[in-house]
């Protein structure tokens, strides 16, 4: 896929997301004209780009969608739930067509063609329903609106003056493709090719573009629609558009702005039909002096003269100045953004990781040498490496709001299928985390949201009987906590029925019938493979596939998922994830000759303690019981522990625990390396890293260790006959 097509695919997906978001808002506020216009602009931009890259299957279908949106924004048809559903299905089909283009395919398969034809027929059926006194027909993808008097609504004539920049051809763009697509907006009734910029043959660069055009376009489209035709070359061309019924003075000012000979341009405008010869001769004679006083880069002085001469009203000039200011500000913002391919960022992160390891090695060698100047130099180097690391990781940080916003459509569609009224509440959309994490969390979130919609929210009759609002609510929330990101999926439904979960687990032989489980362990049975409390399989649930996938995918991201539920009130699924999967700050500890890394964000404090030997696994820390786990026992390290051991107090999910180690070795920047499939199920270990000495150190999974300590304490608090 060439660069131009790649840019089109990326930008079209963004436009499609905006279009879908606007359609979802349309049902809530059908009278929002700005939203309707934004939806139309998104569709038109997608169609315009497809015309430029000559992808006709996207251009043709999107043009049909645009016909309906045009009728909608003109008030010819009314907004309805059925219409919004149709347009959302069209969005899905457009997304499929864009995916086909991204894969490099040039032909559509039979299923895609049939779906497109079905949607086309539904679009035409929707267009056929018009208010009294007006009839709309679709012929060859062109919409004609006939009034009760039998005449066709008049189209307007616009004048377009464009000069392509010399680098247009180098970017792989054909200037004529824009002219061809411009014709799809209406009829080009006059066109003149401007070749004055072509240099002498000896000076000509075959890769440079020297073309310009003066075009007369008859269309019902507006100025914004015409401008969007040239969006892909906006920074590489000079575009001027004069609206219908423009004054002669406007054309004279256009002539003055352009670099070509005045008389030649005047003759071109006459041949295009923009001016008559008499108008040109008279106006050049009478107003040339005024126009020569102005510069092409300043709207305000020209506006003052035109107002003084009573050519235009002052309000129009003021509006033009404001609009120009907005355009300049937008261009300035766009100029600050640089699109970078994801694989280039991944390569940068990998190189920074290697730099972190090399820096740690250099720092270790400097300390061993005892040279103060060398130690100082490596210390400065370490600080710079840390700054580079933080800057590189911030490049990958994206807001989770885009992921959350996808679920507006999911909630709408599933609620309609289930016959329920459900609203989606989003908070913390601005929370940032690693791009890779965002991409991989989408599927688990989808399962959890659909679970809340299907199992969580009760039927309308049940909610009314329980004194709840008829409309249920599903909430998505994200926030940062102790160096991790927390994502909550909550609903105000019926909650989890523990007795039913236990009964199903016994029926599926997941637990023995005499098993003694606390509430938390019973709830966590829903994450077991093949588990489902639904009696009848539907297209949404009942097959026992989903929640086990959630836990497996989240665990693969070094995260955890927990459930809190109150029967009759609702459930909350809490996901905890690391901010990044690549590089972390760690705290290095030792057991005998082995080294381990604890993520620094989870470390609260470190203390030394004597006489930890014995069966007890907790100590009194400033009046509070602190459970702890011995790494020496956990990893079965032989040998006796030192007389004075250290305890690293860690925190995860609001709970504290202690990790008993032989020695503390200080902070350490850590590059996380995966363990591989052989160690995928190794509990308590989240990865590995390479130390400056070249040795391998294991990275501890604090979440798993804290959970293990908590389960040990819960078993001890149970009565002896239940614990057995």
pLDDT higher than threshold 60 for residue 479: yes
| pLDDT level of residue 478 (50, 70, 90 thresholds) | very high
- Among residues 157, 327, 300, the alpha carbon closest in space to that of 242 is found at 157
Query: What mean pLDDT is predicted for residues 202-219?
Result: 88
Residue percentage of the chain with pLDDT more than 70: 80
Residue 513 has pLDDT above 90, yes or no: no
* Assigned token pair, 147: 């009034």
| Measured distance CA(41)–CA(18) in Å, rounded | 10
Domains of the chain: 3-147 (1.20.120.160), 156-292 (3.30.70.260), 342-396 (1.10.287), 399-578 (3.30.565.10), 583-723 (2.40.50.180)
Residue 621: pLDDT above 90? no
Q: What are phi and psi of 78, to 5 degrees?
A: -100, 155
User: For position 542, what pLDDT does the model report?
Assistant: 44
Q: Which pLDDT value is given to residue 560? A: 82
- Residue 115 has what pLDDT? 92
684: left (phi over 0), alpha (psi -120 to 50) or beta: left
Query: Among 105-119, 259-273, 487-501, 520-534, which is the least confidently predicted range?
Result: 520-534
The arithmetic mean of pLDDT across residues 596-614, rounded, is 80
What pLDDT does residue 305 have? Answer: 54
What are 392-447's pLDDT values in tens digits? 878 878 888 888 988 888 898 888 888 899 999 999 988 888 888 888 888 889 88
Determine which of 10-19, 110-119, 215-224, 261-270 has the lowest per-residue pLDDT on average. Answer: 261-270
Mean pLDDT of 273-288: 62
Least confident of 32-41, 389-398, 496-505: 389-398
238 by Cβ neighbours in 10 Å (0-12 / 13-18 / 19+) ranks as: middle
645 beta partners = 609
681 pLDDT higher than 70: no
Nearest to 609 by CA among 666, 667, 665, 659: 659
Tell me how far the alpha carbon of residue 66 is from its chain's centroid.
24
- 3-state DSSP assignment of residue 371: coil
Give the pLDDT confidence of 58-77 residue by residue, as tens digits.
988 988 898 888 888 877 88
Query: Which residues sit opposite 560 in a β-bridge?
Result: 576
pLDDT mean over 515-541: 69
What pLDDT is stored for residue 292 in this prediction?
37
Mean pLDDT of 444-470: 89
Question: Is the pTM here over 0.85, yes or no?
Answer: no
Is residue 133 scored above 90 in pLDDT? no
Pick the range with the lowest mean pLDDT from 302-306, 430-434, 574-578. Answer: 302-306
Long-range contacts of 502-508 (CB under 8 A, 24+ apart): 504/531, 504/532, 504/533, 505/531
How sure is the predictor about 491, in pLDDT bands with cuts at 50, 70 and 90?
Answer: very high
pLDDT band at 93 (very low <50, low <70, confident <90, very high): very high
So what's the pLDDT on residue 254? 85
**What's residue 722's pLDDT?**
43
Least confident of 82-91, 367-376, 665-674: 665-674
Residue bearing tokens 């860690």: 650
> HEC string of 241-296?
EECCCCCHHHHHHHHHHCCCCHHHHHHHHHHHCCCCHHHHHHHHHHHHHHHHCCCC
Q: Say which residue, 114 or 251, is predicted with more confidence.
A: 114
The stretch 24-44 carries a mean pLDDT of 85
**Given pLDDT bands bounded at 50, 70 and 90, which one contains residue 149?**
very low
* Cα(337)–Cα(4) distance, integer angstroms: 18
pLDDT band for position 321 (cuts 50, 70, 90) = low
Strand segments (E) across 482-582? 484-491, 560-566, 570-578
Whole-number percent of the chain with pLDDT over 90: 9
Q: What is the mean pLDDT of residues 682-690?
A: 78
Average pLDDT of 337-345?
A: 74
CA distance 717 to 618: 13
Mean of the per-residue pLDDT values of the chain: 79
Question: Of 44-53, 58-67, 279-288, which has the strongest mean pLDDT?
Answer: 58-67
Span 635-653, average pLDDT: 83
Q: How far is residue 694's CA from residue 404's CA, in Å, rounded to a whole number?
A: 42
pLDDT band of residue 296 (cuts 50, 70, 90) is very low
Q: 382-386: long-range contacts (C-beta < 8 A, 24 or more apart)?
A: 382/669, 385/352, 385/355, 385/356, 385/359, 385/669, 386/669
Q: How confident is the model at residue 250 (pLDDT cuts 50, 70, 90)?
A: confident
Q: What is the mean pLDDT of residues 476-496?
A: 87
pLDDT score, position 567 = 86
Range from 55-64, 236-245, 246-255, 420-429 carrying the lowest mean pLDDT: 246-255
* pLDDT reported for residue 188: 85
């Amino acid at each position: 896929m060439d660069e131009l097509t790649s840019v089109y695919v990326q930008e079209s997906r963004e436009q499609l997301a905006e279009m879908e978001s606007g359609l979802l808002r349309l049902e809530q506020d059908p009278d929002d004209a700005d939203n309707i216009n934004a939806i139309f602009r998104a569709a038109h931009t997608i169609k315009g780009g497809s015309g430029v890259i000559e992808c006709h299957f996207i251009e043709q279908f999107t043009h049909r969608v645009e016909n309906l949106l045009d009728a909608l924004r003109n008030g010819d048809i009314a907004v309805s739930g059925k219409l919004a559903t149709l347009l959302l299905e069209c969005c899905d089909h457009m997304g499929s067509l864009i995916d086909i283009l991204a894969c490099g395919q040039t032909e559509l398969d039979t299923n895609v063609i049939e779906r497109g034809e079905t949607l086309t027929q539904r679009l035409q059926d929707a267009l056929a329903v018009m208010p009294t006194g007006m009839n709309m027909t679709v012929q060859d993808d062109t919409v004609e609106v006939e009034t009760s008097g039998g005449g066709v609504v008049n189209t307007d004539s616009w004048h377009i003056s464009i000069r392509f920049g010399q680098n247009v051809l180098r970017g792989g763009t054909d200037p004529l493709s824009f002219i061809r697509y411009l014709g799809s907006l209406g009829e080009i009734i006059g066109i003149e090719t401007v070749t004055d910029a072509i240099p002498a043959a000896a000076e000509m660069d075959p890769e440079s573009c020297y073309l310009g055009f003066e075009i007369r376009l008859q269309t019902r489209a507006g100025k914004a629609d015409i401008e969007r035709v040239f969006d892909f070359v906006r920074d590489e061309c000079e575009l001027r558009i004069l609206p219908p019924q423009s004054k002669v003075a406007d054309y004279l000012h256009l002539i003055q702005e352009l670099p070509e000979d005045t008389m030649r341009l005047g003759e071109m405008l006459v041949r295009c039909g923009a001016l008559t010869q008499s108008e040109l001769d008279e106006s050049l004679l009478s107003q040339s002096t005024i126009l020569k006083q102005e510069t092409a880069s300043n709207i305000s002085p020209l506006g003052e003269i035109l107002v003084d001469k009573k050519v235009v009203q002052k309000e129009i000039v003021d509006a033009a100045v404001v609009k120009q200011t907005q355009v300049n500000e937008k261009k300035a913002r766009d100029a600050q953004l640089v699109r970078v391919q994801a694989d280039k960022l991944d390569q940068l992160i990998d190189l920074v990781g290697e730099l972190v390891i090399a820096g740690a090695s250099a720092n270790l060698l400097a300390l061993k040498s005892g040279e103060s100047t060398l130690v100082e130099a490596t210390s400065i180097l370490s600080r710079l490496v840390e700054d580079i690391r933080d800057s590189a990781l911030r490049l990958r940080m994206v807001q989770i709001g885009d992921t959350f916003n996808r679920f507006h459509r999911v909630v709408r569609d599933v609620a309609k299928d289930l016959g329920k009224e459900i609203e989606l509440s989003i908070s913390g959309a601005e929370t940032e985390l690693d791009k890779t994490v965002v991409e991989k969390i989408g599927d688990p979130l989808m399962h959890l949201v659909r679970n809340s919609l299907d199992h969580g929210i009760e039927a309308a009759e049940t909610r009314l009987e329980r004194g709840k609002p008829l409309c249920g609510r599903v909430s998505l929330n994200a926030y940062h906590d102790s160096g991790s990101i927390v994502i909550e999926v909550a609903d105000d439904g019926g909650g989890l029925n523990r007795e039913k979960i236990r009964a199903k687990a016994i029926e599926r032989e997941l637990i023995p019938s005499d098993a003694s489980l606390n509430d938390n362990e019973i709830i966590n049975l829903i994450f077991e493979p093949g588990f489902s409390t639904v009696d009848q399989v539907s297209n949404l649930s009942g097959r026992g596939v989903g929640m086990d996938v959630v836990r497996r995918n989240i665990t693969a991201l070094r995260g955890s998922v927990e459930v809190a539920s109150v029967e009759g009130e609702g459930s909350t699924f809490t996901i905890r994830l690391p901010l990044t999967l690549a590089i972390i700050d760690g705290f290095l500890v030792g057991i005998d000759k082995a080294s381990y890394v604890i993520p620094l964000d989870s470390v609260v404090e470190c203390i030394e303690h004597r006489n930890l030997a014995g069966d007890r696994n907790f100590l009194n820390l400033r009046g509070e019981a602190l459970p702890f786990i011995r790494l020496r026992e956990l990893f079965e390290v032989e040998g006796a522990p030192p007389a004075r051991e250290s305890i690293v107090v860690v925190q995860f999910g609001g709970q504290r625990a202690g990790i008993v180690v032989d020695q503390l070795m200080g902070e350490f920047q850590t590059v996380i390396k995966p363990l591989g499939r052989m160690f995928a199920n190794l509990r308590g270990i989240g990865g590995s890293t390479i130390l400056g000495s070249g040795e391998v150190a294991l990275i501890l999974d604090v979440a798993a260790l804290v959970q293990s300590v908590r389960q040990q304490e819960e078993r001890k608090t149970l009565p002896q006959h239940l614990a057995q």
